[in-house]
Structure 1
């Protein structure tokens, strides 16, 4: 936030009622490419008990940072003192609309979660939130603000849900009745006194398609996800040896997993992005496993510059590709490619190369 005191009066450049200012902010948010905008009350205390149960069960895996700052998660005014309202926004990121309720089966491609094929959304989101804050400041005068995009201890889904942007689905992602769930969230904490929006109703009903489709059965019950089983966690956050029982289920997903969203009936309403930054870079929507396997670390760093994929690191990315190659249909090219790199990578990757070779050898016997 700015250096001015949070108690300092806002000097209006133009006289607007709180509702008029809110309406104007919504207009500016739309012009900046945000798909939706709501105003949330800085209070997510109701989410805390569910989250504590999640941690108690160990579903956070080795993401121990989630145990920290629980007081700030429940009370956003402790994270950013002086916060009186939170502007919550979302951005659609689909470039093409997938076939409804269908998970594609293309075993020789390296499947990257759709949100990660273009520019890192954290950078896109924060940049546009800063512009939004500047526009508001030009309109009403000085006020305090701070943008976030999955970058602080915030119950961001709870904030958005409490303000009516959607409801939390059984897969734990936010769903919007008119736009599905293929979007990312951001927040602008402000010292503005704006009218709060109210929650919407839930519309999952008896459907449990996301629970049934999950390759590793990571959605252990409605609204509860065990990260230790989740392909997104295993291929992005986790840096160790992936348990054997999950390797076949991972298939050719080398960074993240969209299956629970692809199967969701509400995503027949998913919207196409208007933001060029989300368009795939370096052919990442149709790159083969063998192409990715040929990347050295320099190529990885070059082609993931400004990309969410950089988060996983080169060795973990190669580990994921090795699993994909092991799960691919038998190919002498795959065996040769794996053999060529047996002694190049670290021990974690080597373990998965050995597994992949065994899987390919097994497929020879089955031919």
Structure 2
């Protein structure tokens, strides 16, 4: 029997694997030193070679050794785990593949300075595709399609169309700049959609919230289309989307760099911080940290409107229990 085709049984952290000796000897790695025949290899009573490592990614490592390449998961945390295992097994080729993956990810996230990029799409399917490849960033979509004019618009619809568009542009300039690229914004032309004006917020994993801004109004003479501007609800869902930033859509884990130190975002999730919007200063703040990137530790005690979870045009304040110096609005 050809030695290269001889099967070897491996027990990696309790996970059992079968592979050929030729696969293990293909690269100049730890396995080549183990199974070259120069040293005796310990086997348990079932004939398995025990390896004291986690077996989570060992199947991927074996596939790389078999084929010379392997698709890496779209998850920074998992690729970091793979590169650690590859360094332990001394598989330099896999280490180089992981390092190239990180370089490509960084290039994809770098945008020209001072340029806000907004994809313009035709349908919801295109939005879903962009969201799935957004590397963990929340997505805010505004659908505007005035071609769906089955009924005439009422008197306030034109103004509210413009107000929705202006708010989208304001949020875009705040959260999609070169220094603060936290959210991906998408404009949808709504081809084939029955919606006329709709906001959609995509967070981590499967979180998806839709806000329809249109309704049918029945008048004595005819039906009319009414376009609304639910400003407070839009602000609320924007804040909820921002709180999902930093997570991984693939493994549902938070970025390790965020876990290493307490953050005001995490405090807000637990109800320990204060989320407040100050239109006069054009500042979004969680706890004492401005989302615009400038710290502001001053306390606001009813001096300006803030965001509420209610669907109302009158902004109210959401107060947590962590700041004793701040007043709760009634």
Tell whether the structures are fold-level matches, with TM greater than 0.5: no
Greater gyration radius: 2
Higher relative contact order (CA 8 A, sep 6+): 1
- Structure with the higher fraction of residues in strand conformation: 2
TM-score, length of structure 2 as denominator length: 0.29
- Structure with the higher fraction of residues in helix conformation: 1
